[in-house]
Amino acid sequence: MTADPRRLLTLCACLFGALALFPALSLAQDPVIPKLTMELAAGQAEPGEVSTLLEILFLLTVLSMAPAIMLTMTSFTRIIIVFHFLRQAMGTQQMPPNQILAGLAIFMTVVIMMPVGKAINSTALQPYLAEEIRFDEALERAQVPIREFMFKHTREKDLSIFYSITKEERPNNRDEVNTIMLVAAYTISELKTGFTIGFLIYIPFLILDMVVASILLAMGMMMLPPVMISLPFKILLFVLIDGWNLLVGSLVNTFQ
């Protein structure tokens, strides 16, 4: 039994007609689509509303930049660099894992930066929450403790290089130093300090590797990797001297 070609043509025409009319029918129904808008009508917005909106936008911007702020304005950079140098010097590959090292570095950063946080809370945050000072004044007060911390660990040579790049006038005192340039100089100083500490940590483990390699060479065991033999001795040495306690304590003392 065969289908009638005329019926097939009629059915196809009806389908194409329905598809052609579907957009028009959907537009005619005028569906309600939820919209979220944020507008300030000209001449109708109060100054307080504009100020509140700007504060919200500023806080959202700060939250999005929180990881960068933590990496460049705190002690996190130096700590994480030293930890990775230690792991490479010991030759333990991925032990401890990156997550553990990063977590320990974060908590150490919180401990080291706690005095700065308390100063910001007492001089800027609490007065602003109590409506004793304005937002811009609270922001200026909050910069003072963190700038003092960065100035304490920033080299003048690292700071001057950015003024040489930007061709700006050299400041006469610390109050005239731009915060952005201070953060950049502080980051470079922390990188240099972290690499210096990492080099000092590397020396005893390197000497141990050289001693083990010399002994194996004298015994004629040239095919045996020295790292395989020196690794247990390096771990044992690090545990016997209570290496984590010494390392963490020394790192914290470098920020005092």
Q: What is the mean pLDDT of the chain?
A: 75
Is the CB of residue 87 less than 8 Å from the CB of residue 201? no
Examine residue 175 and state whether it is found in any structural domain, yes or no.
Answer: yes
pLDDT in tens, 201-218: 888 888 887 887 788 777
pLDDT of 232 > 70? The answer is: yes
Residue 90 and residue 85: Cα distance in Å, rounded?
9
Work out the average pLDDT over 115-122.
85
Examine residue 174 and state whether it is found in any structural domain, yes or no.
Answer: yes
pLDDT in tens, 76-110: 888 888 888 888 888 787 778 888 888 888 888 88
Residue 49 and residue 191: Cα distance in Å, rounded?
43
pLDDT at 21: 41
The listed range with the strongest mean pLDDT (3-17, 19-33, 145-159, 220-234) is 145-159
Question: Among 3-7, 57-61, 226-230, 243-247, where is mean pLDDT lowest?
Answer: 3-7
Examine residue 86 and state whether it is found in any structural domain, yes or no.
Answer: yes
Examine residue 207 and state whether it is found in any structural domain, yes or no.
Answer: no
Question: Contacts by 85-88 with C-beta closer than 8 Å and gap 24+?
Answer: 85/194, 85/195, 85/197, 85/198, 85/199, 85/201, 85/202, 86/198, 86/201, 86/247, 88/202
pLDDT at 51: 62
Structural domain count of the chain: 1
Examine residue 80 and state whether it is found in any structural domain, yes or no.
Answer: yes
Examine residue 90 and state whether it is found in any structural domain, yes or no.
Answer: yes
Domain range holding 160?
Answer: 54-201
pLDDT at 49: 52
pLDDT at 180: 83
- Identify the residue with better confidence: 168 or 187: 187
pLDDT at 30: 46
Q: Comparing C-alpha atoms, which of 151, 120, 105, 148 is closest to residue 251?
A: 105
pLDDT at 95: 79
Examine residue 65 and state whether it is found in any structural domain, yes or no.
Answer: yes
Examine residue 34 and state whether it is found in any structural domain, yes or no.
Answer: no
Residue 55 and residue 136: Cα distance in Å, rounded?
10
pLDDT of 46 > 60? The answer is: no
Please report, as a single letter, which amino acid is at residue 148: E
Please report, as a single letter, which amino acid is at residue 90: M
pLDDT at 55: 67
